[in-house]
Amino acid sequence: MKNYIKIIALGSILSLASCSDLLDTEPRQSLTPDTALADVNGYESLLATAYTGARSFASYGQSLMIAPEIMADNLRIIANTGRYIGQEVNADRQHMGLWGNYGAINVTNIIINGVDAVEGDATRKNRIKGEAFFLRALYYFDLAKVYGYEPGKEVNGWNNSVIIRTTPTLSFSDADFKARSTNRQVYDLIESDLNTAIGLLPSAAQGSNGIYRVTKGAAEALLARAYLYDSKLPQAAAMATQSMTTFNLGNDGTGLSTPANYVSGFSTYPNPESLFEIEIRSVDWSTVDGVNNSMCTLTSNVFTGAQFIVTASSELIAAYEIGDIRRNAWIATTRSGATGTVFRSAKWLGTKGDFLENLPIMRASELFLIRAEARFRTDAPGARSDLNALRSKRGLAAVDAGLVGDALFNQILKERRVEFALEGHRWFDLKRNGLTISKHSNNQPVPYSDYRLLAPLPQDQLILNELLVDNPGYN
Amino acid sequence: MRKVLLIGFMFLMANVVAFAQSRVITGTVISSEDNLGVPGATVLVKGTTIGIATDLDGKYSINVPAGSNVLVFRFVGLSPQEVNIGNRSVVDISMEEDIQSLSEYVVTSYGDQSKREATGAISSVKGEIFENLPVQSFDRAMQGRIAGVQVTSTSGQPGGTLNVRIRGVGSINAGNDPLYIIDGVQIASGGLSGQGNQNALGSINPNDIESIEVLKDAAAAAIYGAQAANGVVIVTTKRGKKGKSLVKVSVQEGIVQPLNLYDVMDASQLAGIKRVAYQNRGLATAGADATYGNPEDPNLESSDWLDALYRTGRLSVYDVSISGGDEKTTFYLSGSYTKQEGQIEMSDYSRATGRLNVTHRPSKNFTVSANLSLAFQNTNGSIANGNFVNSPFVAGFSARPNVPIYNEDGTFAPYPSNHLFGYNIAQGVAQELRSGKTVQTVSNIQMSYQIAPWLSFTSYFGLDFSDNADINNRPSTIPVFSSYGGASTVTARRATNFNTNHNFNFNKKFNDVHTVSGILGVEYKGSQSDLQTATGRGFPNPTLIYLNNAATPFAVGSFFTEYKRAGVFGQAKYDYDDRYTADFTLRRDGHSRFGEQNRWGTFYAASAGWRLSSEAFLQDVTWLDNLRVRASYGITGNSDIDPNDLDRSNFGSRTLVGSSGQYLGQGGLNLSQLGNDLLTWEESETFNFGLDATLFNGRIITTVDFWRKNSKSLLFNTPLPVDSGFGSITRNTGEVRNQGVDIDIQTVNIVVGKFQWSTGFNITFLENELISLYDGKDRVGNDLIVGRPIQFWYTNQYQGVNPSNGRAMYDDGTGTGNYTYIAGQSTLDYRGTGLPTSYGGLSNTFTYGPVTLEVFFQGQFGNIASNADIFNLGNWGSGTGNLTVDQLNYWKQPGDVTTVGRPFEGGQEAGTSAVNTFSTRLLSDGGYVRLKQVTLNYRLGSAAASKIGMASASIFVQGLNLATFTNFNGIDPEVVSITGNTTFGRYPNARQISAGINLNF
């Protein structure tokens, strides 16, 4: 009998003894911040995350490439899958949504505020920090373009831009509520971040593998773009020149793709004209992202199962001059359910296999167009020669030497339109110049003063954060 | 314990008065278990109110009037018996233990207690109620059977999971599932497989279950402290009894049918409306004709996609058990196999179970017992519950009728790439493999030592272990998967839940009237689960599906999580003379999920009962068999931090840095979660006031409970501004109140000769209200509003189609009732709750001799349900797929009064919100009454049965989900009712009709 008691007692003691580490557990696939960010390697890993924000489908992965085209006059829907149907007709609230950028912005803030304090090679730390400054500027720039007017282009004085956060959220108390900053403040931050980045970043050759990470030249190029949006035109021209110097681009267009290589460049990784390109690997996608969400599936029919929902508008096709090699970025084909000839994109061909391709964020030709526009708007010489340098690499003759004024400006805009078709510039090029958003076929143009020029803020954030006000016109 | 019961009944029955006299019958009632007299048993003259109770030795003497010839013997815990007196003057009977009446006992894993004593709110359902029902898990068997317990399907997938909510929904983000305890094992509920909805509770064969008890209030559940806030479901499996071995065999075969599919258009109907949509958009109708066919073409053929996808499936249930034992050892051994085909091709469920429950007494004072079970579940799942192009519940209805399903040669035809991503749903369902196989054991060992007659010690060890292997193969024969040569994803999951407790149980009676009993113990629980998954692509042959056949390793993933919990608990109970009962429970629990300083929480409950019917002043009320009132108050806990968030659920108190993709081969890290080291238990405070009554010699048995449950310090994901980089942080804040009344009535309505009609009815009325949120806020977006229930619809009020132009009108939100075409934030408002305000069940049983018919209805009321299928099937011809035929009644010209507006390709008319704007157009009354079950059973007479060598035999036919009465606008109101928003493409429940045979040897 006593034996039974002993057995039970032993069992009980054993089972209790086994819980001596009573309530200790480990989240084995995660680290604490102290461990993870103890050295420069941790920040390098954070930086990888900061890059991934750019390839999300709300950003350059899809929406920032397609929406600015279809919300203006470059694309039209040829298959109704529900996607971009509202954007095509500029329906209420059918816009771009980039509030998710703040996730990556917080990562850049952690890096910028923390990397200096850890052990590690100073060059490496500077580079990481420089990349973080660049990426923070890029994400804020995209937010500013979508949610606010450019400085000096306000309608009815509406200068609200987005919320600025430059300190990291590391704990609950950091996640306080903030109001929107002015567009001036946001652009100041973008320009300051990029200037800092330029001082920290190394250089790499245009079109080399080095441009998968941001470089000094890319920061200069983005800063030139920011100055242009900000109407700081002499600075824009100067910074474009500086970037061209960094990338060894000649004023005559040397360094740009030849006419024979323009289209194929988009199936070359990296694109020979890329100043900054986001690399995507198949592991970055879930099994269905290629067929569901990639640029290739939406704009082309090269793979079985591709959705091919958008094609070039006839207005865009008509915008190509005869002999323009860029016209070859559209290949005539047919689409069941769509009448007549439609065009599939030859820029987004998924040449890495199964819809996979990289995302060029900035290409060299943009520097010529930035400088041409900046020079034109400041009446500085060289606008036409910058255009001609680009045109010489696109199979086109020089523009008329007497081209001036509105005609020249329109030529610059048209050059941008065809150069960057399906690269997400069109809407922003019209908007930042205060122009009516022109539309294709029978869709109604959107006057610059229309409330739909600015995206609505996320509804849940407006309710949550009493300091936040929506853009005008959204009920 | 038994003695207390007996004495109580004596008091009750001693006052039953005998009237007319004709002859005196005497006799002794003994229990077959110990051959001892049964004191306090009722002896009734059938068809009269004449009755008497047996004395302390089980003897009785009763006057039986002329014309009466049948005595009815009843005693709690024993099977009632009817005996023909014949010419006898002495009728001795031996009563057998009634295994079905265990509801009178409440089983907790720390020791049993009589329900008669229990002062908490406890409901139970006996195994016999659902024995041989072709349901795969016991949670489904509880549906409509227990007051205060709401059971709804999340999916009609055979063997799928269910939502069980006990007394409402108290938590906003934390888990609302009850704690399930199977023979003392605290198991993990939920799904096991990623490829089909596979219920973890399905590893228990319902036919092995003796009884299910549901502990609803704090008094009943506080002994489980930390986990008990959502109630506790205690399942007890069958045990052997000493004596002759009993062999039971049952076989059942049946069919499974779709319930109520949408009626969709044929090719010419769809082509017609699409032409109009193109015209109205200003597009060439040739485009419509090219896509949908020419509606005027008399040769336009229609494909019947539903016919290719849906089927009448087969169900089979085979069960065998043997039980028995002797003085020292009892056992119950069972095996089962069940297979049920779903209503969708390729979707099915099969399960094999084995169980051995054995109890051995090596000595008078020592008992060791083990319950060992092993179950193998295999689910072939369907893609469901979302707007997926490869879900038969979406694409089956949407697929264009003008597109052929098959080629001439019988192979699958390609589907146009501009719809459903070019996915031929019939091919996808037929060729994609979605298999989940799980081996699971829920087993325990228990040792008890009787230290003294009043004191025992028990050590208990329980294990819930499951091992799952999923495979999803997408062969290259399906065009959309051909670009990469097909893919297989293999996933392995392993979950281990271990719990052990060690406790003293005591029970001592003083001076014949004071009974003190209680429990004192410690408990520990550990839970770990992990997952590994890998995907390979590029299979040289579509019949090869294993990863080593893949050309390209494509993706890998893994996951690990764990938690630990420890607690000490005590319970003391005092009973005075079976009249007054008081009960106090105290428990202290620590949980690894919480911040180091806040891990431990204290839970308690106090309750009291007063049996009025034992008082002298009610002794003369002969029709009142039992009347008792109970009251309880207590606090129980909830530690299930957002179970949908894998990091947060077990590590919500910690700030985590986790993996976040890669860039250029550099693995990414990110701050994946903001921790809150102040995090501690969510608490549930329960008040319960109950009344138990038995009237008219047991003809009416009723329990009514009034309750209020305040869920406080909620583990609430308080929103953070997204610009901070985080969406939310879990804090202990907010309060939700559920209150209601549970009513349960069992009546025997008519007893005439061989005919008996009895009724079981239960209903729960409840209301849910958000009392507070956080930081004084009165709302979170449009999702939570103080003063409202925690699930509701906040949307546009649809005002119908404007007859003048065919556009959708919405209330403009100004309060004037005027309409607008553009819905926006200002037009949104509260449009009703998604939570039912009442639910219940009604069972009627008619017996005539050997024939029994049970008719069981189950229903719920008061909830507004959404049906997102309307976005696809009722979009007024604006979409790209097929539509329900009611869409043909679309607006054609000014003045048309219709519910279907002007077809407009794309649905995005300038100056009008998109046709698929969410509004009350998608909402309807989610209430329903369902004829859940009809069973007709014929029991062979024992004489006839013994002729064929059996103790008893019966045959039965039964139907499940036979009819539904509802105004819901979708397929199945049951699969939408709790979970709110995701109402696309739900896998509906099926109708099941089966017949079977039970043999007892």
CATH code, domain carrying B90: 2.60.40.1120
Length of chain B: 1001
Number of domains in chain B: 3
Which of B566, B676, B910 minimises the CB distance to A19? Answer: B566
Query: Is B799:B199 a contact under the CB 8 Å cutoff?
Result: no
Query: Is B920:B795 a contact under the CB 8 Å cutoff?
Result: yes
DSSP state of B34: T
Structure tokens at B572: 């003391």
Q: Say how many CB pairs under 8 Å bridge A and B.
A: 308
Residue the block writes with tokens 């391709």: A357
Residue A390 φ/ψ, nearest 5 degrees: -65, -45
Task: List CB contacts of B174: < 8 A, sequence separation 6 or more.
Answer: B638, B639, B640, B641, B642, B643, B682, B714, B715, B716
pLDDT in tens, chain A (475 residues): 456 556 556 555 555 555 456 888 888 888 888 889 999 999 999 999 999 999 999 999 999 999 999 999 999 999 888 899 899 999 888 999 999 999 999 999 999 999 999 988 999 999 999 999 999 999 999 999 999 999 999 999 999 999 999 999 999 999 999 999 999 999 999 999 999 999 999 999 999 999 999 999 999 999 999 999 999 999 999 999 999 999 999 999 999 999 999 999 999 999 999 999 999 998 898 878 888 899 999 999 998 778 899 999 999 999 999 999 999 999 999 887 787 899 999 999 999 988 999 999 999 999 999 999 999 999 999 999 999 999 999 999 999 999 999 999 999 999 999 999 999 999 999 999 999 999 998 899 999 999 999 999 998 899 899 999 999 999 7
In a domain, B78, yes or no: yes
pLDDT digits (tens, 9 = 90+) for B772-781: 999 999 988 8
Query: Is B142:B164 a contact under the CB 8 Å cutoff?
Result: yes
Whole-Å CA distances, A168 to A120, A132, A191, B808: 21, 12, 20, 46
- Put simply, the answer to whether A337 touches B674 (Cβ < 8 Å) is no
B595 touching A (Cβ < 8 Å): no
Q: Which of A6, A13, A15, A112 has the most B C-beta neighbours within 10 Å, making it the best mutation to test the interface with B?
A: A15
Query: Is B415:B403 a contact under the CB 8 Å cutoff?
Result: yes
Residues B499 and B518 in one domain: yes
Band of residue B22 on the pLDDT scale cut at 50, 70, 90: low
Which of A33, A99, A336 minimises the CB distance to B655? Answer: A33
pLDDT exceeds 80 at position B359: yes
Tell me which chain B residues have a C-beta less than 8 angstroms from the C-beta of A335: 418
Residues B903 and B993 in one domain: no
Tell me which chain B residues have a C-beta less than 8 angstroms from the C-beta of A460: 719, 781-782
Residue the block writes with tokens 């309710």: A463
Residues B886 and B772 in one domain: no
Strands A274-278, A359-363: pairing is antiparallel
pLDDT digits (tens, 9 = 90+) for B413-446: 999 877 888 889 999 999 999 999 999 999 999 9
CB contacts under 8 A, B 373-412 vs A, are: none
Band of residue B30 on the pLDDT scale cut at 50, 70, 90: confident
Task: Give the model's pLDDT for residue A434.
Answer: 96
- Put simply, the answer to whether A16 touches B524 (Cβ < 8 Å) is yes
Residues B289 and B377 in one domain: no
Residues B554 and B693 in one domain: yes
Closest CA to A147 of A90, A86, A98, A94: A98
| CA distance, residue A215 to nearest chain B CA (Å) | 15
Angle formed at CA B379 by CA B376 and CA B384, multiple of 5 degrees:
155
Nearest CA in chain A to B654: A32
Whole-Å CA distances, B182 to B150, B233, B442, B518: 20, 8, 8, 22
- Put simply, the answer to whether A48 touches B666 (Cβ < 8 Å) is yes
Structure tokens at A429: 């090029």
DSSP state of B197: -
Closest CA to B877 of B868, B864, B890, B866: B890
pLDDT digits (tens, 9 = 90+) for A338-366: 878 999 999 999 999 889 999 999 999 99
Query: Is B59:B28 a contact under the CB 8 Å cutoff?
Result: yes
A292 touching B (Cβ < 8 Å): yes
B84 touching A (Cβ < 8 Å): no
Tell me which chain A residues have a C-beta less than 8 angstroms from the C-beta of B535: 287
Structure tokens at B911: 């100056």
By the 10 Å C-beta count (0-12 exposed, 13-18 middle, 19+ buried), B50 is classed as: buried
Nearest CA in chain B to A10: B459
Strand runs (DSSP E) across B753-863, as ranges?
755-772, 779-780, 784-785, 792-796, 798-801, 808-811, 819-820, 828-833, 838-848, 851-861
CB contacts under 8 A, A 252-281 vs B, are: 279, 281
Residue B710 φ/ψ, nearest 5 degrees: -105, 110
Tell me which chain A residues have a C-beta less than 8 angstroms from the C-beta of B825: 459, 462, 474-475
Residue the block writes with tokens 């007394």: B167
Task: Give the model's pLDDT for residue A4.
Answer: 59
Structure tokens at B972: 């199945």
DSSP state of A119: B
Residue A216 to residue A198: CA distance in whole angstroms: 5
In a domain, B140, yes or no: no
Percentage with pLDDT > 70 across chain B: 94
- Put simply, the answer to whether A99 touches B722 (Cβ < 8 Å) is yes
A26 touching B (Cβ < 8 Å): yes
B421 touching A (Cβ < 8 Å): yes
Tell me which chain A residues have a C-beta less than 8 angstroms from the C-beta of B286: 339
Mean pLDDT across chain B: 88
Residue B225 to residue B219: CA distance in whole angstroms: 10
In a domain, B279, yes or no: yes
Residues B374 and B407 in one domain: yes
Tell me which chain A residues have a C-beta less than 8 angstroms from the C-beta of B598: none
| CA distance, residue A201 to nearest chain B CA (Å) | 18
Length of chain A: 475
Residues B912 and B985 in one domain: no
Angle formed at CA B17 by CA B13 and CA B21, multiple of 5 degrees:
130
Task: List CB contacts of B986: < 8 A, sequence separation 6 or more.
Answer: B155, B156, B384, B385, B393, B970, B971, B972, B975, B976
- Put simply, the answer to whether A336 touches B418 (Cβ < 8 Å) is yes
B880 touching A (Cβ < 8 Å): yes
A86 touching B (Cβ < 8 Å): yes
Q: How does DSSP assign B512-534, residue by residue? A: TTEEEEEEEEEEEEEEEEEEEEE
Instruction: Give me the helices (H) in A320-425, please.
Output: 365-377, 383-392, 405-419
Strands B23-31, B93-95: pairing is parallel
Residues B691 and B746 in one domain: yes
A47 touching B (Cβ < 8 Å): yes
Query: Is A303:A354 a contact under the CB 8 Å cutoff?
Result: yes
pLDDT exceeds 60 at position B210: yes
pLDDT digits (tens, 9 = 90+) for A14-30: 555 554 568 888 888 88
Task: Give the model's pLDDT for residue B624.
Answer: 87
CB contacts under 8 A, A 114-133 vs B, are: none
Whole-Å CA distances, B526 to A340, B186, B225: 66, 10, 16
Tell whether domain A205-257+271-278+363-396 is in CATH 1.25.40: yes
3-state secondary structure of B821: coil
Task: Give the model's pLDDT for residue B104.
Answer: 38
Residues B883 and B847 in one domain: no
| CA distance, residue A258 to nearest chain B CA (Å) | 28
Q: Is the pTM of this model over 0.90?
A: no
3-state secondary structure of B433: strand
| CA distance, residue B417 to nearest chain A CA (Å) | 6
CB contacts under 8 A, A 331-360 vs B, are: 335-339, 353-355
Number of alpha carbons in the 13 Å side-chain half-sphere of residue A341 = 6
Give the structural domain span for B626: 313-791+834-867+928-1000
Closest CA to A311 of A289, A334, A290: A334
Residue A210 to residue A356: CA distance in whole angstroms: 20
pLDDT digits (tens, 9 = 90+) for B724-761: 999 999 999 999 999 999 999 999 999 888 899 999 99
Residue B502 to residue B448: CA distance in whole angstroms: 10
Beta bridge partners of B628: B611, B692
Tell me which chain A residues have a C-beta less than 8 angstroms from the C-beta of B653: none
Task: Give the model's pLDDT for residue B9.
Answer: 36
Tell me which chain A residues have a C-beta less than 8 angstroms from the C-beta of B916: 82
B775 touching A (Cβ < 8 Å): no
Query: Is B32:B606 a contact under the CB 8 Å cutoff?
Result: no
End-to-end Cα spacing for chain A: 81
- Put simply, the answer to whether B565 touches A23 (Cβ < 8 Å) is yes
Nearest CA in chain B to A336: B291
3-state secondary structure of A281: coil
- Put simply, the answer to whether A11 touches B722 (Cβ < 8 Å) is no
Instruction: Give me the helices (H) in B847-941, please.
Output: 869-873
Residue A466 to residue A464: CA distance in whole angstroms: 6
pLDDT digits (tens, 9 = 90+) for B527-547: 999 999 999 999 999 999 999
Whole-Å CA distances, B804 to B801, B808, B908: 9, 11, 18
Q: Name the percent of chain B in helix, strand, coil, to the closest 5.
A: 15, 50, 35
- Put simply, the answer to whether A99 touches B723 (Cβ < 8 Å) is yes
What is the C-alpha R_g of chain B? 31
Task: Give the model's pLDDT for residue B209.
Answer: 92
Which of A291, A292, A458 minimises the CB distance to B722? Answer: A458
Residues B88 and B34 in one domain: yes
Tell me which chain B residues have a C-beta less than 8 angstroms from the C-beta of A79: 418-419, 880
Residues B852 and B768 in one domain: yes
Nearest CA in chain A to B825: A475
Q: How does DSSP assign A236-274, residue by residue? A: HHHHHHHHHHHTT--TT-BTBPPTTTTTGGGGSSS-TTE
CATH number of domain containing B357: 2.40.170.20
Which of B291, B526, B660 minimises the CB distance to A49? Answer: B660
Residues B607 and B654 in one domain: yes
Number of CB atoms found within 10 A of residue B1's CB: 14
Structure tokens at A255: 């360094």
In a domain, B963, yes or no: yes
Nearest CA in chain A to B723: A102
A406 touching B (Cβ < 8 Å): no
Residue B370 to residue B672: CA distance in whole angstroms: 44
Residue A320 to residue B586: CA distance in whole angstroms: 82
A3 touching B (Cβ < 8 Å): no
DSSP state of B200: G
Task: Give the model's pLDDT for residue B125.
Answer: 86
Residue B287 to residue A199: CA distance in whole angstroms: 57
Task: List the helix and strand counts (H, then E) for chain A.
Answer: 18, 7
| Per-residue exposure over A335-361, b if at least 16 CB sit within 10 Å of its own CB, e if not | bebbbeebbbbbbbbbbbebbbbbbbb
Task: Give the model's pLDDT for residue B927.
Answer: 93
Task: List CB contacts of A321: < 8 A, sequence separation 6 or more.
Answer: A396
Task: List CB contacts of B816: < 8 A, sequence separation 6 or more.
Answer: none
Task: Give the model's pLDDT for residue B631.
Answer: 94
A409 touching B (Cβ < 8 Å): no
